[in-house]
Amino acid sequence: MTGTLLEHADDLIHRIMATREGHTDPYALYRRLQAVAPVHRSDLDGNWYVSGFDAARQILGDPRVGKNNQFIVARHGVDPERLRIAQRRPRRSMLTVNPPEHTRLRGAAKGAFIPPAMAAVQPRVAAIIDERLDRLAALGEADVMAELAFPMPVTVVGEMVGVPEEDRAWFRPLMRTLVSSDSFKRSPEELEAVKRASDELEAYFEDLIARRRKEPRDDLLTYFIGQADDGVLDEDELFSTVTLLFFAGFLTTTNLIGNGLVALFDHPDEQARLWEHPELAASAVEEIVRFDSPIQFVHRNVMEDFELEGHSLSAGDVVMVLLAAANRDPARFADPDRFDIGRPDNLHLAFAWGLHFCLGARLARMEGQLVLAGLVQRFAKVEPAGEPVRNPGLVIRGFDSLPVRFTPR
């Protein structure tokens, strides 16, 4: 590749990662990066950036690529204090280890999300969604993020894990602060708020684990405490497993709902199609997460030297896998920038791939399908009632608020 093209690719990466343009709409920049350099090592930070579908799937599934505790990587324009806050007190979790430790940790948790477990919880999920839709019908107009997209999945996973009902609303401002830690531009005051939020989160779950040890219940928290007491998990792994399942259990679904409604509003023909054919709800969920992925990118660490599409990757290299870019790769998807709720053969990477495939994907899909089907059944019209406000994060793409008007049938 010529020096000019290399410089152009680095300019695109900078704009994606460190500018308001990239935060507002990264997709045009992703397309240009794919065209110039679908696999590229940046001079900005020394990391590899992979935006092509085939290369991304290979990285996610290759046994020569793994993860480690240094999961925060320096990016252009990121100050040392921000990295220090992000990397403090790392705990071992299934997100940051490789086999055999990953196999053990994931094995301890996966039973909660296998098909029989999901079938058992589905009636309760449907009931919680009905309660939220009742409230939306009564309000007529509401911020859908505050009234549905956050409280529904946090109630579902809160009941599963064992987070008390009275505590769940507290997590919304906390998570908004933590998501902002990933923003392309944070003030020292905002970084300090991230540190305080992280401390509050850690203290809360340490206290909840201690309380549940004294008063066991029929929930996942009690189950994992038993795993720790039996020596299957150590105390760090207990903490990280519980917090990971809790936050992974609502974060993706929250943004799936918000991103999905905005995509439908922006494509009224597809919204009308869904209202005419509610049986497309499952397909629509897959297209929503492909079209505007709640998780924009993930990182991996190269463990052994190997070749990727003519490029030599070396042990120790960091790879940024741009999931959202891969999900719009024209080499994989016909007319990739078209939002098509009936898209066939929609094999995307929104939930990642390989060993670290999203553990809660089945739950997120179920919740998304039930929400879409419920909206179609209950409301003749669902339409925007104001300008949405996007969250400040780069990895987590979604909205802080989304005013919506609901017209009952």
80 against 290, higher pLDDT: 290
pTM attached to this predicted model: 0.91
258 contacts: CB under 8 Å, gap ≥ 6: 144, 145, 149, 388, 398, 399, 402
Lowest mean pLDDT among 42-56, 90-104, 148-162, 163-177: 90-104
Which phi and psi (to 5°) does residue 37 adopt?
-160, 85
Residue 238 near residue 227, CB atoms below 8 Å: yes
Q: How many domains does the chain have?
A: 1
Nearest one of 77, 70, 126 to 95, comparing CA atoms: 70
Residue 17 near residue 78, CB atoms below 8 Å: no
Q: In the predicted model, is pLDDT for residue 81 greater than 50?
A: no
CA distances from 247 to 94, 172, 241, 244 (A): 14, 11, 10, 5
Please, which pLDDT band fits residue 170 given cuts at 50, 70 and 90? Answer: confident
Q: How many residues does the chain have?
A: 409
Q: What range defines the domain where residue 80 resides?
A: 3-408
Give the per-residue pLDDT at 5: 61
Tokens of 94: 């299934």
Please, which pLDDT band fits residue 207 given cuts at 50, 70 and 90? Answer: very high
Give me the mean pLDDT over the 316-345 stretch: 96
Tokens 């779950």 correspond to: 205
Q: In the predicted model, is pLDDT for residue 84 greater than 50?
A: no
Distance, CA of 322 to CA of 400 (rounded, Å): 23
Give the per-residue pLDDT at 193: 81
Residue 325 near residue 405, CB atoms below 8 Å: no
110 against 339, higher pLDDT: 339
Lowest mean pLDDT among 96-100, 216-220, 235-239: 96-100
CATH number of the domain to which 115 belongs: 1.10.630.10
pLDDT tens per residue, range 25-45: 999 999 999 999 999 999 988
Give the per-residue pLDDT at 83: 45
